[in-house]
C-alpha cells in the first residue's frame, strides 16, 4: 500500500477524521508494533505521550486535537509508505481510503464495501438531506443478525440482537460520535460491549462505522438501505421503522464475520427529553441484547417478516466467517 507524499491533512478535521486516524493508529500499534513512540520520532510537536493521549484520551480543545491530527496524519502517511507489504483488513480499508485517498485501493471482497465517495458524500450532502436523515433515524434500534455461534448447531438458528442508539444531533458537537452500539455475543464475558460509531450517508444507503471503546478490536461496519422522502408532499417526515442491510464485524472468538442484518426502530425513543426517562429506557433496552433462539427472538422482534427472512438466509449460509 502506498499513498501519494503530496496528500495533506484536511483543513478542518471532523469527528469522522479523528475516528478514522485513531482506529488506524490502534491497529498499527496492536498488530504491527508501530507504537506512539515510533510515530512521534522525528516529528516536531509530537511525543510518545502526546500521541498516546490523542488515541486514548482525546482532548476537549479543538485546536489542540486538530494540530495533533495534522502532525500524526503526515507522519503515519510516511510510515505506511515505508512499510513493505502492509496489508490492511477489510474493515480498515474504507477508513484508510477516507483519510488518504490512495491512488490504488483494492475493493474489499466482502458483502460490505465503502468507497471514498460514500464516505465523503456525508460531509458534502445538503443540510436539508442531513436533517431529513437524522430526523428519520434518530433514537434506539434493535439490530438483528444470525449469530455466528449457530455453526455449532446449524439446524437451530440463533439470533444476535444488539442495541443501536443514534443520538439527537441538536445536542452534540461534530467531534462527538453519532451513535453507540451495545452488543453481547453468546460467549461474551461482560454484560455488553460498547462501540462508538459515526454515520455516513449516500442517497440510497447509510453506513455506521464504529469501534469498541474498551478493546483494540477491528472496527465494525453496518450498511443499511435508505429511501429519501423529500417529495412526500405533506410536510411531515416520517420516522424510519425498519431497514435491511449488511454487517462486517468481529465476534466473541475474535473472528471477522459478515452477514445480512435488519434493524427495527424502538417506538417512542426518538425524542425523549427527560434525562432520567431516557436513561431508564436505555437500560431497559440494553437488558434485551444478546443471543436468542427463534422462539425467544420472535417474542422480542416486532417485524416477523424480516425475522423469517433471516431464518431463510441462515439456511442458505448467508453468513461468512473469515479467519
Distance CA 137, CA 206 (A): 10
Task: Answer yes or no: do 135 and 75 share one domain.
Answer: no
Task: Answer yes or no: do 72 and 133 share one domain.
Answer: no
Q: How far is CA 267 from CA 138, 239, 240, 286, 298, in A?
A: 11, 10, 10, 15, 17
What is the model's pLDDT at position 216? 59
- Min mean pLDDT across 33-42, 78-87, 123-132, 202-211 is at 123-132
pLDDT in tens, 289-305: 988 888 888 889 888 88
Distance CA 280, CA 77 (A): 44
Residue 111 falls inside a structural domain: no
204 pLDDT higher than 60: yes
pLDDT in tens, 162-191: 999 988 765 455 556 678 889 887 766 567
Residue 279 falls inside a structural domain: yes
> Domain count of the chain?
2
Grid cell 450532502 is found at 125
- Min mean pLDDT across 35-44, 98-107, 181-190 is at 98-107
Task: Answer yes or no: do 82 and 230 share one domain.
Answer: no
Which of 38, 70, 88 is the last residue in one of the domains? 88
Grid cell 478514522 is found at 20
Q: How far apart are the first and last CA of the chain?
A: 22
Q: How far is CA 144 from CA 164, 281, 309, in A?
A: 10, 19, 11
Task: Answer yes or no: do 84 and 128 share one domain.
Answer: no
Residue 285 falls inside a structural domain: yes
Q: Is 96 left (phi over 0), alpha (psi -120 to 50) or beta?
A: alpha
Task: Answer yes or no: do 55 and 153 share one domain.
Answer: no
Domain span at residue 147 reads 122-322
Distance CA 245, CA 134 (A): 18
User: And the C-alpha cell for 107?
Assistant: 475493493
Which of 30, 64, 88 is the last residue in one of the domains? 88
Task: Answer yes or no: do 253 and 316 share one domain.
Answer: yes
Give the mean pLDDT of 155-161.
Answer: 78
Give the mean pLDDT of 208-215.
Answer: 73
Task: Write the secondary structure of 238-283 as one string of H (helix), E (strand) and C (coil).
Answer: CCCCEEEEEEEEECCCCCEEEEEEEEEECCCCCCCCCHHHHHHHHH
Contact 143, 307 (CB under 8 A): no
Task: Answer yes or no: do 71 and 152 share one domain.
Answer: no
Q: How confident is the model at residue 109 (pLDDT cuts 50, 70, 90)?
A: very low
pLDDT in tens, 223-281: 888 776 654 556 677 888 988 887 877 666 666 677 788 899 999 998 888 889 989 99
**Which residues, 6 or more positions from 178, have their beta carbon under 8 angstroms from its beta carbon?**
15, 166, 167, 169, 172, 197, 198, 199, 208
Residue 41 falls inside a structural domain: yes
Neighbours of 222 (CB within 10 A): 26
Task: Answer yes or no: do 82 and 202 share one domain.
Answer: no
Distance CA 52, CA 256 (A): 27
Task: Answer yes or no: do 132 and 281 share one domain.
Answer: yes
Residue 306 falls inside a structural domain: yes
- Min mean pLDDT across 173-182, 202-211, 282-291, 311-320 is at 311-320
Task: Answer yes or no: do 34 and 183 share one domain.
Answer: no
Contact 161, 288 (CB under 8 A): yes
Q: How far is CA 159 from CA 13, 147, 246, 289, 291, in A?
A: 38, 5, 15, 10, 5
Which of 31, 65, 88 is the last residue in one of the domains? 88
Residue 7 falls inside a structural domain: no
Contact 276, 284 (CB under 8 A): no
Residue 232 falls inside a structural domain: yes
Task: Answer yes or no: do 245 and 294 share one domain.
Answer: yes
Q: Phi, psi (5° rounding) for residue 41? A: -60, 130
Task: Answer yes or no: do 127 and 36 share one domain.
Answer: no
Q: Where are the beta strands (DSSP E) in the chain?
A: 139-146, 158-166, 179-183, 193-202, 205-212, 220-225, 242-250, 256-265, 290-293, 319-322
Residue 315 falls inside a structural domain: yes
Amino acid at each position: 500500500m502506498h499513498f501519494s507524499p503530496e496528500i495533506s491533512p484536511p483543513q478542518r478535521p471532523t469527528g469522522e477524521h479523528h475516528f478514522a486516524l485513531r482506529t488506524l493508529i490502534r491497529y498499527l500499534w496492536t498488530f504491527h508494533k508501530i507504537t506512539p513512540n515510533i510515530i512521534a520520532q522525528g516529528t516536531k510537536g509530537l511525543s510518545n505521550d502526546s500521541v498516546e493521549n490523542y488515541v486514548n484520551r482525546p482532548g476537549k480543545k479543538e485546536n489542540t486535537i486538530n494540530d495533533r491530527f495534522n502532525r500524526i496524519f503526515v507522519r503515519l502517511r510516511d510510515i505506511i509508505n515505508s512499510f513493505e507489504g502492509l496489508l490492511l483488513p477489510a474493515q480498515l480499508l474504507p477508513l484508510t481510503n477516507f483519510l488518504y485517498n490512495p491512488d490504488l485501493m483494492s475493493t474489499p471482497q466482502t458483502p460490505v464495501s465503502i468507497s471514498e465517495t460514500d464516505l465523503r458524500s456525508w460531509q458534502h450532502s445538503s443540510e436539508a438531506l442531513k436533517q431529513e436523515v437524522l430526523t428519520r433515524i434518530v433514537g434506539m434500534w434493535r439490530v438483528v443478525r444470525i449469530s455466528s455461534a449457530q455453526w455449532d448447531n446449524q439446524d437451530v438458528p440463533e439470533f444476535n440482537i444488539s442495541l443501536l442508539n443514534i443520538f439527537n444531533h441538536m445536542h452534540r458537537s461534530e467531534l462527538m460520535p453519532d451513535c453507540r452500539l451495545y452488543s453481547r455475543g453468546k460467549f461474551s464475558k461482560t454484560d455488553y460491549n460498547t462501540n462508538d460509531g459515526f454515520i455516513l450517508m449516500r442517497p440510497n444507503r447509510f453506513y455506521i462505522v464504529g469501534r469498541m471503546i474498551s478493546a483494540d478490536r477491528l472496527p465494525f461496519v453496518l450498511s443499511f438501505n435508505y429511501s429519501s422522502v423529500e417529495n412526500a408532499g405533506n410536510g411531515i417526515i416520517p420516522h424510519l421503522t425498519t431497514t435491511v442491510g449488511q454487517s462486517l464485524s468481529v465476534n466473541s472468538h475474535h473472528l471477522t464475520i459478515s452477514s445480512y442484518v435488519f434493524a427495527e426502530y424502538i417506538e417512542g425513543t426518538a425524542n425523549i427529553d427527560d434525562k432520567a426517562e431516557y436513561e431508564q429506557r436505555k437500560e431497559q433496552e440494553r437488558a434485551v441484547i444478546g443471543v436468542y433462539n427463534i422462539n425467544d427472538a420472535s417474542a422480542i422482534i416486532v417485524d416477523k417478516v424480516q425475522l423469517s427472512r433471516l431464518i431463510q438466509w441462515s439456511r442458505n449460509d448467508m453468513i461468512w466467517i473469515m479467519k
